[in-house]
Homo-oligomer: A and B are copies of this chain.
Amino acid sequence: MTGTSGPRKRADAQRNEKALLEAAAAVFVASGVDAPVRDVAAAAGVGVGTIYRHFPTRADLVVAVYHHQIEACVAAGPALLARSASPHAALAAWIDLFVDFLVTKHGLAEALRSDQDTFQTLHARFLDDLVPVCAHLLDAAAGAGEIVPGVDPLVLMRGIGNLCIGAGDPRYDPGFVVGLVVAGLRLR
């Protein structure tokens, strides 16, 4: 805005892509990840061609939309483990974080659960990145004797993800049920 007029084209394109992602995120929240490409384009104020240029398939777009947020979650795992009172506390905090993330980005959980071919990629990406973090936290907690051993992190994460579906409804409370799950993990 001040003096960035030099190599502008690439800068513009990047800005454009960012605007695209934000618009897509908004549209996904409002209409789900199945929202018409046209709607996303309109929301971003670009032509549909621009969407296809940047993200050839819908999966590419969805993955991109949630990429940064996934990364943040990945980073939070070790950080929490380092500064929490106990591994179980870290696990609980991380799950809370994950739930907050999903609940905030309403529509994400729905996307995650979709077994449509279109979202295979999203699925993969999501789980490939997050499951190891979860596994690490589970191992730490199990190693400390705080939780039952042998919990499959993938199963746990998909469960948590599922529980976040429909978070917008005032009559539903994902956090409560997730709390039951976390409680259920504890060794008694």
Binding site for B on A (CB under 8 A): 110, 113, 115, 152, 154-156, 158-159, 162-166, 168-169, 171-174, 176-177, 179-186, 188
Contacts and interface: CB of A to CB of B under 8 A. Distances in A.
A180 B188 contact: no
B176 A155 contact: yes
A182 to B, nearest CB: 7
Nearest to A162: B162
Given A158-B172, A159-B163, A162-B162, 18 more contacts: A110-B113, A113-B165, A154-B172, A155-B173, A155-B176, A156-B177, A159-B174, A159-B176, A159-B180, A162-B164, A162-B165, A163-B163, A180-B180, A180-B181, A180-B185, A182-B184, A184-B184, A186-B188
Count of identical protomers in the assembly: 4
Contacts of A158: 166, 169, 172, 177
Contacts of A113: 110, 113, 165-166
Contacts of A168: 115
A87 B154 CA distance: 32
Nearest to A158: B172
A173 B185 contact: no
A152 B176 contact: yes
A164 B188 CA distance: 26
Nearest to A34: B34
A20 to B, nearest CB: 21
